[in-house]
Amino acid sequence: MVDRPGIRSAGLVQASALAAMLLAGCIDPPTAAVCTPGTFDTASVSGDTITTSTGLRFIDDSLGAGAALPWCATVAVLFKAYLLDGTPFDSTDIDRPLRFAPGLGDLIDGFEQGVIGMRRTGARRLIIPPELGYGSEPVRDNAGTVIVPGNSTLVFDVEVLGIGQ
């Protein structure tokens, strides 16, 4: 099994085992995670590209409909992840969307910041600098192969399937 890059949590197998033990009463439930909303402002706009005060850049492909995603709300997304040179390194599919709440710290900072303000069916390209991504350390799969070199700028194409799910 390979843990998804960008997600700082136990793999699916470990999470399933943990859930089974929790339901069976073998372990105490975890304490509720604390959501910490991030803060950033628009620093500049160049054409379609918005750059935030944290260095995240994004381009809205489609604005979507409904309310804008706030911090701490659960969201379901599809994404494709690439290195800046176009090399793909991760993705989701319609049968396994990524569900998370921005502000819990489960994902890299640039991804959590990048979905804020998106709407259902909205699509956005995130361009994440290393300091909001994986930093200077390379990301390796379970076999030890480097799938994201250190100091990589990351590109994520994100589509919101639903908010509050």
How far does the chain reach from its first CA to its final CA, in angstroms? 26
Query: What is the model's pLDDT at position 32?
Result: 67
pLDDT higher than threshold 90 for residue 33: no
Report which of residues 5 and 106 the model is more confident about. 106
Handedness of CA 59, 156, 100, 149 (dihedral sign): negative
Query: What is the model's pLDDT at position 9?
Result: 36
Which of 159, 147, 105, 153 lies closest to 133, judged by CA? Answer: 153
What are the residue ranges spanned by the domains of the chain? 12-163
Mean pLDDT, rounded, for 129-158: 97
Confidence (pTM): 0.80
Query: What values do phi and psi take at 7, rounded to 5?
Result: -120, 120
Six-digit token string for 125: 């390209």
State how far the Cα of 31 lies from the Cα of 8, in Å rounded to an integer: 17
CATH class of the region 12-163: alpha beta
pLDDT higher than threshold 70 for residue 27: no
Q: Would you call 118 helix, strand, or coil by DSSP?
A: coil
State how far the Cα of 75 lies from the Cα of 115, in Å rounded to an integer: 9
State how far the Cα of 25 lies from the Cα of 53, in Å rounded to an integer: 46
Range of weakest confidence among 5-9, 38-42, 46-50: 5-9
